[in-house]
Amino acid sequence: MISKINFEKIKSIRKELHKIAELSSDEIKTSQKIKHYLEEFNPDKIIENIGGYGIAAVFGSSNKTKIMLRAELDALPIQEVNEFNYKSIHPNVSHKCGHDGHMSILLACADYFSSQKVDKQIILLFQPSEENGKGAERVSADPKFEEIKPDFVLSFHNLPGYQKNLILLKENTFAAASVGMIIKLQGVSTHAAHPENGISPVNAVTKILQQILKLNDSNEFEDFALATPIHTNIGERAFGTAPHKAEILITLRAFKDSDMEKLKKKSLKIVEENAVSEKLNYSIEWDDEFQSTINDPLLIDKLQEVCNENVLEYQRLLVPFRWSEDFGVFTHQIKGAMFGIGSGENSPQLHNPDYDFPDDIVPAAVKTILALIQKLN
């Protein structure tokens, strides 16, 4: 099935993509590079600037079953420490989540579909802005998406800590919902010698953190729910001035969207009550919002069949991943599935400065995808 794919060329392209890593909403060179190579594979159509710098290649007729494969264009704001000859040329930007490898998997599929006709329409979507949680929403809201909206949507993610090429399957929730909560408190400034003349946010910050952390031990949620404080800033670096403002950043996450809504409401109530009690003005902002990624159980069963029929090792996971993926935007409206593929027990973890995508897992990922496509009607 995959013998005609030029995996050496795909590896070379992956390294080119790694070298020009770009942040969310700024994937200009990456999108141009993808377009250049897609044109070599002669798709029936290329759609540019979908949801930003997104690009999609279409193979086959629109009156057939439509299957979309999705990979991500963007990199992370991390300085690469690797010294190989294809290290990122952009300071403090690098592919530390393996999106360069994910793109190479889709390009390998494009290589296959350039010579092998299938009785389906295949859409290869290279999606922008996954890392900030905005790309999938922008793509699905783009009028161009209506032209390619599929019957099925598929994606995947490489996963360090698991043996290479192990296919990881999970029905229903695959990855958690999450959101960043930005809490701003405003009091009244005064001299540090007379704090009683001002309104300080210190007590409110202490209580808010303590009470939100207690939610982690609550039995009010149906499934896993977690609040993680990640940043706190109080006042100014001035010993003569009592603090009058504060900012708290907390990440909320849950396996169920209903639990996420409950967690948000409870956290908001804690902030409101403490701000009022301490006579503070406050504001709440939400950022980096991700829906849970929901896998269709029948598609996961088909993926298991694919693994059995093609002698691919797999593992059915009992618990979803705690991290988030904006692929959930698609699976909430279209039958879909995301699977994991092990990238090595000893691989550096995702988002580590020394991580690099292992090219030798590309063939197994492509084989899994192509075999699943044959089963979908």
In this structure, the answer to whether residues 169 and 206 fall within a common structural domain is no
In this structure, the answer to whether residues 286 and 296 fall within a common structural domain is no
Residue that is last in its domain, among 265, 290, 315: 290
| Residue 118 CA: distances (Å) to CA of 10, 28, 121, 154 | 22, 31, 8, 17
Structural tokens at position 293? 């990624």
In a domain, 11, yes or no: yes
**Domain span at 262:** 177-290
Mean pLDDT, the chain, rounded, equals 97
CATH of the domain at 310: 3.40.630.10
The CA distance from 101 to 363, in Å, is 11
Coil vs helix vs strand at 355: coil
In this structure, the answer to whether residues 151 and 299 fall within a common structural domain is yes
Number of domains in the chain: 2
Share of the chain above pLDDT 90, in %: 97
In a domain, 354, yes or no: yes
Contact 68, 155 (CB under 8 A): no
Average pLDDT over residues 117-138: 96
Antiparallel, parallel or unpaired: β 172-175 and 245-254: unpaired
In a domain, 2, yes or no: no
Classify residue 31 by its DSSP letter: H
Q: In the prediction, which pLDDT does 267 show?
A: 98
In a domain, 1, yes or no: no
Residues 6+ apart with CB under 8 A from 122: 58, 59, 60, 67, 68, 69, 109, 113, 373
Residue with tokens 């995808």: 369
In this structure, the answer to whether residues 44 and 96 fall within a common structural domain is yes
Task: Read off the amino acid at residue 277.
Answer: S
Residue that is last in its domain, among 241, 265, 290: 290
Residue that is last in its domain, among 290, 323, 343: 290
pLDDT digits (tens, 9 = 90+) for 137-166: 999 999 999 999 999 999 999 999 999 999
Residue with tokens 């269709």: 296
